[in-house]
Amino acid sequence: MIAIIDYNTGNIGSIQNMLRKLGVESIITSDPEVMCKASKLILPGVGSFDSGMKKIRKLELFDKLNDLVLKKKIPILGICLGMQLMGENSEEGKEQGFGWMNESILSFKNLQLNSSIPVMGWNYVKSVKPNQLIQDQKAKFYFVHSYYFNSKCENCIATASINGFEYCVAFEKNNIFGVQFHPEKSHKFGMKLLQNFANL
Protein backbone atom coordinates (compact mmCIF):
# COMPACT_ATOMS: atom_id res chain seq x y z
CA MET A 1 0.00 0.00 0.00
CA ILE A 2 1.38 3.35 -1.04
CA ALA A 3 0.71 6.25 1.32
CA ILE A 4 0.27 9.61 -0.36
CA ILE A 5 1.22 12.22 2.20
CA ASP A 6 -1.42 14.88 2.62
CA TYR A 7 -0.01 18.08 4.05
CA ASN A 8 -2.64 20.38 2.61
CA THR A 9 -0.99 21.49 -0.58
CA GLY A 10 -3.08 21.09 -3.68
CA ASN A 11 -5.20 18.35 -5.16
CA ILE A 12 -3.66 14.92 -4.76
CA GLY A 13 -6.75 13.18 -6.06
CA SER A 14 -5.21 12.75 -9.49
CA ILE A 15 -2.18 10.90 -8.10
CA GLN A 16 -4.46 8.43 -6.35
CA ASN A 17 -6.61 8.22 -9.45
CA MET A 18 -3.66 7.38 -11.67
CA LEU A 19 -2.46 4.73 -9.20
CA ARG A 20 -5.97 3.28 -9.13
CA LYS A 21 -5.92 3.05 -12.91
CA LEU A 22 -2.67 1.09 -12.60
CA GLY A 23 -4.28 -1.25 -10.13
CA VAL A 24 -2.07 0.04 -7.32
CA GLU A 25 -3.66 0.56 -3.92
CA SER A 26 -2.99 3.81 -2.17
CA ILE A 27 -4.22 5.83 0.75
CA ILE A 28 -4.15 9.60 1.22
CA THR A 29 -3.14 10.39 4.78
CA SER A 30 -1.52 12.86 7.15
CA ASP A 31 -1.36 10.27 9.94
CA PRO A 32 2.20 9.10 10.66
CA GLU A 33 0.88 5.79 12.02
CA VAL A 34 -0.66 5.04 8.64
CA MET A 35 2.57 6.08 6.89
CA CYS A 36 4.51 3.64 9.09
CA LYS A 37 2.53 0.76 7.72
CA ALA A 38 2.93 1.78 4.07
CA SER A 39 5.26 -0.08 1.74
CA LYS A 40 6.08 3.16 -0.07
CA LEU A 41 5.45 6.89 0.31
CA ILE A 42 4.64 9.68 -2.11
CA LEU A 43 5.34 13.27 -1.10
CA PRO A 44 3.40 15.49 -3.52
CA GLY A 45 3.06 19.27 -3.36
CA VAL A 46 2.47 22.52 -5.13
CA GLY A 47 3.16 25.98 -3.78
CA SER A 48 6.00 27.63 -1.99
CA PHE A 49 8.95 25.96 -0.22
CA ASP A 50 8.40 27.72 3.07
CA SER A 51 4.69 27.05 3.22
CA GLY A 52 5.33 23.38 2.40
CA MET A 53 7.95 22.94 5.15
CA LYS A 54 5.83 24.83 7.66
CA LYS A 55 2.88 22.56 6.98
CA ILE A 56 5.07 19.47 7.35
CA ARG A 57 6.32 20.70 10.73
CA LYS A 58 2.85 21.74 11.85
CA LEU A 59 1.58 18.22 11.21
CA GLU A 60 4.58 16.89 13.17
CA LEU A 61 5.73 14.95 10.15
CA PHE A 62 9.32 16.22 9.97
CA ASP A 63 10.90 13.80 12.47
CA LYS A 64 8.54 11.00 11.54
CA LEU A 65 9.43 11.18 7.85
CA ASN A 66 13.14 11.39 8.64
CA ASP A 67 12.73 8.20 10.65
CA LEU A 68 10.74 6.38 7.97
CA VAL A 69 12.99 7.47 5.11
CA LEU A 70 16.48 7.47 6.66
CA LYS A 71 16.19 4.74 9.28
CA LYS A 72 13.48 2.40 7.99
CA LYS A 73 14.48 3.14 4.36
CA ILE A 74 10.91 3.15 3.06
CA PRO A 75 10.99 4.11 -0.64
CA ILE A 76 9.68 7.64 -1.11
CA LEU A 77 8.87 9.59 -4.31
CA GLY A 78 8.79 13.38 -4.11
CA ILE A 79 6.76 15.15 -6.80
CA CYS A 80 7.37 18.79 -7.74
CA LEU A 81 7.42 20.74 -4.45
CA GLY A 82 7.71 17.36 -2.69
CA MET A 83 10.96 16.76 -4.56
CA GLN A 84 12.24 20.24 -3.68
CA LEU A 85 11.54 19.78 0.03
CA MET A 86 14.02 16.89 -0.05
CA GLY A 87 16.81 19.44 -0.64
CA GLU A 88 18.69 21.50 1.95
CA ASN A 89 17.05 24.85 1.31
CA SER A 90 15.64 26.98 -1.48
CA GLU A 91 16.26 30.41 -2.96
CA GLU A 92 12.49 30.74 -2.66
CA GLY A 93 12.42 30.93 1.13
CA LYS A 94 14.02 30.72 4.52
CA GLU A 95 13.02 27.30 5.80
CA GLN A 96 15.34 24.30 5.95
CA GLY A 97 14.27 21.32 3.85
CA PHE A 98 14.69 17.68 4.81
CA GLY A 99 18.25 17.76 3.51
CA TRP A 100 18.07 14.19 2.14
CA MET A 101 19.65 15.63 -0.98
CA ASN A 102 22.67 17.78 -0.34
CA GLU A 103 21.47 20.46 -2.77
CA SER A 104 19.99 23.92 -2.81
CA ILE A 105 17.00 24.72 -4.95
CA LEU A 106 17.63 27.63 -7.32
CA SER A 107 15.42 30.24 -8.96
CA PHE A 108 14.83 30.53 -12.73
CA LYS A 109 14.47 34.28 -12.18
CA ASN A 110 18.23 34.50 -11.68
CA LEU A 111 18.85 33.23 -15.20
CA GLN A 112 18.19 34.86 -18.58
CA LEU A 113 15.86 32.04 -19.46
CA ASN A 114 13.67 33.75 -22.10
CA SER A 115 10.64 31.90 -20.83
CA SER A 116 7.67 32.95 -18.77
CA ILE A 117 7.89 31.88 -15.15
CA PRO A 118 6.69 29.55 -13.74
CA VAL A 119 7.98 27.36 -16.52
CA MET A 120 4.87 25.53 -17.60
CA GLY A 121 4.30 22.92 -20.26
CA TRP A 122 5.40 19.61 -21.67
CA ASN A 123 9.06 18.85 -22.15
CA TYR A 124 11.19 15.86 -23.10
CA VAL A 125 13.26 14.37 -20.33
CA LYS A 126 16.66 12.78 -20.88
CA SER A 127 17.87 10.09 -18.55
CA VAL A 128 21.55 10.59 -17.78
CA LYS A 129 22.28 7.31 -16.03
CA PRO A 130 20.62 3.92 -15.61
CA ASN A 131 17.86 4.27 -13.06
CA GLN A 132 14.68 2.68 -11.85
CA LEU A 133 12.15 5.32 -12.82
CA ILE A 134 12.74 6.53 -16.38
CA GLN A 135 13.93 4.26 -19.16
CA ASP A 136 12.13 5.64 -22.18
CA GLN A 137 14.39 8.08 -24.04
CA LYS A 138 11.35 9.70 -25.65
CA ALA A 139 9.55 10.32 -22.35
CA LYS A 140 7.94 13.70 -21.93
CA PHE A 141 6.27 15.10 -18.87
CA TYR A 142 4.27 18.09 -17.76
CA PHE A 143 6.12 20.70 -15.75
CA VAL A 144 5.07 23.71 -13.74
CA HIS A 145 7.75 25.28 -11.57
CA SER A 146 9.81 28.39 -10.90
CA TYR A 147 12.68 26.75 -8.98
CA TYR A 148 14.97 23.95 -10.00
CA PHE A 149 17.82 21.61 -9.11
CA ASN A 150 21.17 22.13 -10.80
CA SER A 151 22.03 19.60 -13.52
CA LYS A 152 25.27 18.76 -11.68
CA CYS A 153 23.26 17.63 -8.68
CA GLU A 154 24.62 14.38 -7.28
CA ASN A 155 22.27 11.43 -7.86
CA CYS A 156 20.67 13.20 -10.82
CA ILE A 157 19.10 10.61 -13.12
CA ALA A 158 17.41 12.83 -15.69
CA THR A 159 17.55 16.34 -17.07
CA ALA A 160 15.43 18.60 -19.27
CA SER A 161 16.34 21.73 -21.21
CA ILE A 162 14.61 25.06 -21.70
CA ASN A 163 16.04 27.20 -24.48
CA GLY A 164 19.35 25.42 -24.11
CA PHE A 165 19.53 25.58 -20.32
CA GLU A 166 19.78 22.09 -18.87
CA TYR A 167 18.75 21.24 -15.32
CA CYS A 168 18.06 18.21 -13.16
CA VAL A 169 14.48 16.96 -13.23
CA ALA A 170 14.79 13.66 -11.40
CA PHE A 171 17.07 12.09 -8.81
CA GLU A 172 17.48 8.70 -7.21
CA LYS A 173 19.45 8.09 -4.02
CA ASN A 174 18.93 4.62 -2.51
CA ASN A 175 15.29 4.65 -1.38
CA ILE A 176 14.78 8.36 -2.10
CA PHE A 177 13.38 9.49 -5.45
CA GLY A 178 12.32 12.89 -6.68
CA VAL A 179 10.76 14.18 -9.88
CA GLN A 180 10.28 17.84 -10.74
CA PHE A 181 7.46 17.19 -13.21
CA HIS A 182 3.93 15.94 -12.54
CA PRO A 183 3.54 12.27 -13.49
CA GLU A 184 -0.15 12.52 -12.59
CA LYS A 185 -0.59 15.10 -15.38
CA SER A 186 1.60 13.30 -17.91
CA HIS A 187 -0.75 10.50 -18.88
CA LYS A 188 1.02 7.43 -20.26
CA PHE A 189 4.50 8.68 -19.40
CA GLY A 190 3.43 9.42 -15.86
CA MET A 191 1.71 6.08 -15.58
CA LYS A 192 4.90 4.28 -16.61
CA LEU A 193 6.90 6.16 -14.02
CA LEU A 194 4.41 5.53 -11.21
CA GLN A 195 4.25 1.88 -12.25
CA ASN A 196 8.04 1.66 -12.03
CA PHE A 197 7.95 3.22 -8.58
CA ALA A 198 5.14 0.92 -7.44
CA ASN A 199 7.06 -2.11 -8.72
CA LEU A 200 10.27 -1.40 -6.79
Partner 1 sequence: MLNRIIPILLLKDEELVKSKSFHSYTYIGDILNSVKIYNELEADELCIFDISSSSNGINYDLLSQIATECFMPVTYGGNITSCQEIEKILRLGIEKVSINTALSDLKFVSSAVDQFGQSTIVACVDYIIENGTALRTDPVSQDKSELVEFLEEIVTEANIGEVILQNKELDGSYAGYDLSTITKVKDNVHCPIVVAGGCSGLNDIKSAFQAGCSGAAAGSLFVYYTDAKGILINYPDSSELEEHNITR
Asked about 182 being catalytic, the answer comes back as yes
CB 122 within 8 A of CB 159: no
Least CB distance to partner 1 at residue 12 (A)? 8
Asked about 184 being catalytic, the answer comes back as yes
Asked about 168 being catalytic, the answer comes back as no
Least CB distance to partner 1 at residue 108 (A)? 11
Q: What ranges make up the beta strands (E) of the chain?
A: 2-5, 26-29, 40-43, 76-79, 89-90, 104-107, 119-124, 126-127, 140-145, 147-150, 156-162, 165-173, 176-179
Q: Which chain residues interact with partner 1 by CB under 8 A? A: 10-11, 13-14, 17-18, 115-124, 140, 142-144, 146, 162, 184-188, 190-191
CB 78 within 8 A of CB 177: yes
Least CB distance to partner 1 at residue 164 (A)? 13
Residues with a catalytic annotation lie at: 80, 182, 184
